[in-house]
Amino acid sequence: MYISADDSIDLQIHTIYSDGHWQPLALFDHLARERFRVASITDHDSMEHLPELCELGAERGIHVIPGVEMTTTWHGKSAHLLCYAAEFTGDALAALSRDTAAAQLANTRTVYDTLVRSGYDFRMPHDASVRPIDNARLLHAHGYAASMDEALKTIADVGYRSITAPLADAVAAAHASGAVAILAHPGRGGGEIHRYDLPLLAELLTDVALDGIEVRYPTYSAEQIEAYTAFARERSLLASAGSDSHGPKQRLPIAYPAALCANLLSRCGVHVR
């Protein structure tokens, strides 16, 4: 597939199939209205809906690059890994994503049950059997916690733990499945997300064979964009750009020009003229 350098792309979007609020149909209708040419739906630790998402995109003239955002850690630090492929092969990455998601679901359901037995009164979300319950947001929304920090402390006290895969294992599984492995939003930080400044990122690369990094992200400063872009160029890393859009009432997809990610797109079967 060939696209123009100024065609619009967004390589990190989330739907109801993980922690997003985008209904797939509504998402692709929005992308079509805004004339996006390429998108990647990178639901967390979830790959089973990729054929449906690719088909929905194709029906609206949008090429969907199969993707997933894996929840991983490196030396005790959170590290989200974006995996992209023209087509995933084998089962290594899919198996790791299934195992990670199943463990996350079991833990959050246990925390929910413990909260209810302790006297917290809120209704089980309708989709709790297929995706992790956001217990912290339930506590906050029902007035049991004054802030998300307080809610996170409450769920930690009753057994919540972050379920992750080792970063090196996820990168190896991605490569075994024909995918490239990109570190998501290294400059973001905040909450459970660890910030990777350039010295720490350089250290990580000596240990794990990443293919690239996300150099464009909506919370980055101009200085961060410049620094991560230069770092990727110097290290011959692939450059990615994503909005991390989770729903129409939150951040919308961002129309990044395809030229910013030409080398990554090429590895995924999309060539920029």
Distance CA 76, CA 3 (A): 40
Domain with CATH 3.20.20.140 in the chain: 2-96+166-272
Confidence of residue 129 (pLDDT cuts 50, 70, 90): low
Binning pLDDT at 50, 70 and 90, where does residue 189 land?
confident
Which helix H or strand E contains 210, and what residues bound it? none
* Tokens of residue 30, six digits: 């929005």
Mean pLDDT score, 137-162: 92
Inter-residue contact 18 to 134 (CB < 8 Å): no
| Range in 26-30, 43-47, 158-162 the model is least confident about | 158-162
CATH class held by domain 2-96+166-272: alpha beta
| Integer-rounded Cα radius of gyration of the chain | 19
Q: 92-117 and 148-157 helices cross at what angle (nearest 10)?
A: 90
Q: Roughly what angle, to the nearest 10 degrees, separates helices 198-207 and 222-234?
A: 30
pLDDT of 125 over the 70 cut? no
Q: What percent of the chain has pLDDT over 90?
A: 86
Task: Tell me which H or E stretch contains 84.
Answer: strand 77-84
For residue 88, which of 179, 1, 182 has the smallest C-alpha distance?
179
HSE, side-chain direction, 13 A CA sphere, residue 15: 21
For residue 69, what are the contacts with CB-CB under 8 A and spacing of at least 6?
12, 14, 18, 42, 43, 44, 45, 80, 81, 82, 83, 184
Q: What is the rounded distance in angstroms from the CA atom of residue 250 to the CA atom of residue 47?
A: 23
What confidence tens digit (pLDDT) does each residue in 66-109 have? 999 999 999 999 999 999 999 999 999 999 999 999 999 899 99
Go through 127-158 and write b for each residue having 16 or more CB atoms within 10 A of its CB, e for each that does not.
eeeebbbbbbebbbeeebbeeeeebbebbeeb
**Residue 44: strand pairing partners:** 69
pLDDT band at 187 (very low <50, low <70, confident <90, very high): very high
Owner of token pair 């590290």:
79
pTM over 0.75: yes
- Could you tell me if 226 and 253 are in contact, meaning their C-beta atoms sit under 8 angstroms apart? no
| pLDDT band at residue 22 using 50, 70 and 90 as cut-offs | very high
Q: Alpha-carbon distance 243 to 185, whole Å?
A: 10
70 SS3 class: strand
- Using one digit for the tens of pLDDT, what is the confidence trace for 190-214? 877 899 999 999 999 999 999 999 9
User: Mean pLDDT in the chain?
Assistant: 94
pLDDT in tens, 6-20: 999 999 999 999 989
